[in-house]
Each structure stands twice: as structure tokens, then as C-alpha cells.
Amino acid sequence: MHALMKMILQRLGIGLLTLFVVSLLIFGAVEMLPGDLAQELLGQGATEETLAELREQLGLNQPAYQRYVNWLGGAIQGDFGTSLANGRDIGELIGNRFVNTIKLAIYAAVIAVPIAITLGLLAALYRNTIFDRVVNIFTLASISFPEFFVAYILILIFSSKLGLFPALAAIEDGAPFTEFLYRGFLPALTLTLVVTAHMMRMTRASIINLLAQPYIEMAGLKGMKRLRVIVKHALPNALAPIINVVALNLAYLITGVVLIEVVFVYPGLGQLLVDSVAKRDVTVVQAACLIFATVYILLNLTADVLSIATNPRLMHRK
């Protein structure tokens, strides 16, 4: 078997095992929530007969392990059950919200990745200059603040003071793409500021490390311009760590948007998760958490595979 394919299968096995453990943690955390779920749903005025009927309907009378097996078996088949809050199919309820979250993550990535790589290249090219220091200070400052703080600062500047963009990104289903770009700009910009520093600093560090290599110095001695040396010779050999950090930040963009969606009232999966927690809609909470976990594990697996594929030496132990 090809070494790369064997490595991919090994990573898939580890990913599935990790996802199984995460599903246990999700189900166990929901099980440990205090109170009676049936009582919470029906209120204090519910009779014992009504409560008993609802517990039977929800399967609360079954042992925890049996309910876990039923839930996980349904999730594997794409059946997450129905929402306790409105009776809608969870797959249908989550579908549009998850698509909106993916769209916002892609929007932010389209802005963040080119900016981060370009800034990293320029910071390496002009290392220890004023430009390098300013870029490092700005990116570190943006990542040091909590996401919601950055979001409120952007709302204050671009919405309240300048009036350029709306403070809320309440985008309706079927809205034109231009409206999505307009209303989703501030959430995307917030995510961009949060993740740019990681990618920029990794690009900068990788390029600086390679600039000390003999073949790079030889290219410079032959009279090649420094920018061309970096782009043509250094950047291709620095792709492995750069791709890895980009993929990891894409995972964060998708799974770490909960606070951003709540601040901007963006109709994504994160907003649905928070609303479901408030309503104690545990079936939706479990499904949303499992989807976030699956996406995060898959993107981490992708990052691992791509970094090794671009640098096959990583497959061989030293």
C-alpha cells in the first residue's frame, strides 16, 4: 500500500475514534444537566400522567446507554430526530443554518488567507524594519482581544460612527448574494482580524527559517532579487507549515463562530446552538455540537494530510 494512503487511513481511524469519544462527552454532558427535561418542557403545571407520557415519548425511561446507542445510530444515518422546541426535523432545521455558517467562514477565509500570506511574506522580506514591527504589533493586538470585543469595536466604528455597514447581519433565506456580502462584512472582518495573526506569523517564521538555507543564499549570490528568491524558492518549501496553519484556522472559522454569530445575530449554526441551549432543546444542542466536532476533526485531518503531502519527508521518522 502506498505510504501516503496508509497514512491517510491511519489518520481516518484516529479521527473516527476521536469523534466517538467526543460523542460520548457530548451525550454525557447533556445527561448531567440538572432538572427534569419533561418538567422543563411542560412547565410546573403539568400533571404526572402528562409527564410520564412525555418521558415515554422521549425515551427518558430507557437506560442512558440505550438512548446513546439510539442517538448515535440515528446520527450516523443522518437522522438527528426532531426538535423539542417546535417539533421540526433537526436535519432540516440545521441544514440552512450550517450552510450560512460555512458561507461566513468562506467569506472570512477569502479575505484572511491572502492578507495573512502577503503580510507574512513582506514581514519576512523586511524583517526587523518598522513595517515588520507594525504588522506584528497590529496582528498580535487583534488576536489578544476577545472576539466579541473586536466585534463591538467594529460595530462602533463602521456602523454607529460611519454608518457604512449594518450592526446586525440578520440575512433572510434566499437573499441576494450582494446583500450577503454587505450584511456579512462586519462578521467576516471580525473573524479575519482574529485568525490573520496565526497565519501571518507562521508564514513569516517559515520564510525566515528557509532564508538561512544554503540554496537560498546561493540564489541571492547569483543576483536574483530577494522578493523573487522568496516567492520562487522559499515559499514552495514553506508550504507544509503554512497549509497546516491555514487549514487549522479554517476549522476555527467554522467551529469558533458562535460568539460572532450571537453578537451580529447572524442566522448560523452557532446562533441556533445558543438559542437551543436557552430553550433546553437538548436534541438540537447534541446535533449541533456533533456537527461542529465532526467538521473540526475533518479539517484537522485535512491539515495533517496536506502538510505531509506537500512535504513527504514528514512521513519518515527521524
- Reported as a single tens digit per residue, the pLDDT across 240-256 is 777 777 777 888 888 77
Give 25-75 as a DSSP string. HHHHHHHT-SS-HHHHHH-TT--HHHHHHHHHHHTTTS-HHHHHHHHHHHH
Same domain membership, residue 59 and residue 133? no
Same domain membership, residue 64 and residue 150? no
Does position 205 have pLDDT exceeding 60, yes or no?
yes
Helices (H), the chain: 3-31, 37-42, 48-58, 64-76, 90-125, 130-144, 147-154, 177-183, 185-211, 214-221, 226-229, 235-237, 239-255, 258-264, 269-279, 282-310
Instruction: Say what the pLDDT of residue 180 is.
Output: 87
Instruction: Say what the pLDDT of residue 83 is.
Output: 80
Instruction: Say what the pLDDT of residue 59 is.
Output: 67
201 in a domain, yes or no? yes
Indicate the range of 45-54, 91-100, 106-115, 275-284 predicted with least confidence: 45-54
Instruction: Say what the pLDDT of residue 139 is.
Output: 81
Share of the chain above pLDDT 90, in %: 2
Q: Which residue has the higher pLDDT, 306 or 131?
A: 131
Task: Please tell me the distance from the alpha carbon of residue 254 to that of residue 270, in angstroms, as a whole number.
Answer: 9
Task: Please tell me the distance from the alpha carbon of residue 100 to that of residue 142, in angstroms, as a whole number.
Answer: 25
Confidence of residue 272 (pLDDT cuts 50, 70, 90): confident
Confidence of residue 40 (pLDDT cuts 50, 70, 90): low
Q: Which residue has the higher pLDDT, 13 or 4?
A: 13
Q: Which residue has the higher pLDDT, 2 or 194?
A: 194
Domain span holding position 239: 91-315
The answer to whether 247 and 198 have CB atoms below 8 angstroms apart is: no
Give mean pLDDT, residues 108-121: 87
Same domain membership, residue 265 and residue 150? yes
Same domain membership, residue 285 and residue 144? yes
Same domain membership, residue 265 and residue 133? yes
Task: Please tell me the distance from the alpha carbon of residue 213 to that of residue 243, in angstroms, as a whole number.
Answer: 21
- DSSP for residue 256: S
Task: Please tell me the distance from the alpha carbon of residue 169 to that of residue 96, in angstroms, as a whole number.
Answer: 15
The model's pTM is: 0.81
Same domain membership, residue 50 and residue 172? no
Give mean pLDDT, residues 82-102: 83
